[in-house]
Amino acid sequence: MSESSQELQKKEAETPAGVERTRSEKVYIPAVDIIEKKDEMVVIADMAGCDENTVDITLEKNLLTIYGKVVPDKGDDLQPALFEYGTGDYQRSFTISEEIDRERINAKVKNGVLTIILPKAAAAKSRKIAVVSE
């Protein structure tokens, strides 16, 4: 397998010390893009197989955690010959700063892509300072 194709493989999430999983399914770390705009931060996560009913986002203190439960679609009369795409849940956590307005965070999911909007607090927004001559 070439180096570039290995980078595209899903990475399995490690279980934190002192935590036990209650399901036997694998848990993967979703690939994300984080984009900083003038008034907000945008987190885009690839969570194939998830929709608005299976994604859970929590914010506790400064820890933003996304979790997506994947229910594999298995037909009753299908006999699989090969599975190359591993199915499992998704989980990833981010530490967010005080610059984020926690009350205005929102999220949407479409076609397995989760988008989280993290608006910047008024104090964190940059502003232009006028310079005048004397």
Query: What is this structure's pTM?
Result: 0.73
Q: Where are the domains positioned within the chain?
A: 26-74+84-124
pLDDT digits (tens, 9 = 90+) for 80-134: 787 777 778 999 999 999 899 999 999 999 999 999 999 998 876 667 778 988 8
Q: Please name which of 76, 56, 74 lies closest in space to residue 66, comparing C-alpha atoms.
A: 56
Q: Long-range contacts made by residues 122-125, C-beta under 8 angstroms, separation at least 24? A: 123/99, 124/98, 124/99, 124/100, 125/38, 125/39
Contact 115, 43 (CB under 8 A): yes
Task: Give the pairing type, strands 11-12 and 40-46.
Answer: unpaired
pLDDT digits (tens, 9 = 90+) for 11-26: 666 655 544 556 567 8
Q: One-letter amino acid identity for 84?
A: E
Is 26-74+84-124 CATH 1.20.58.340? no
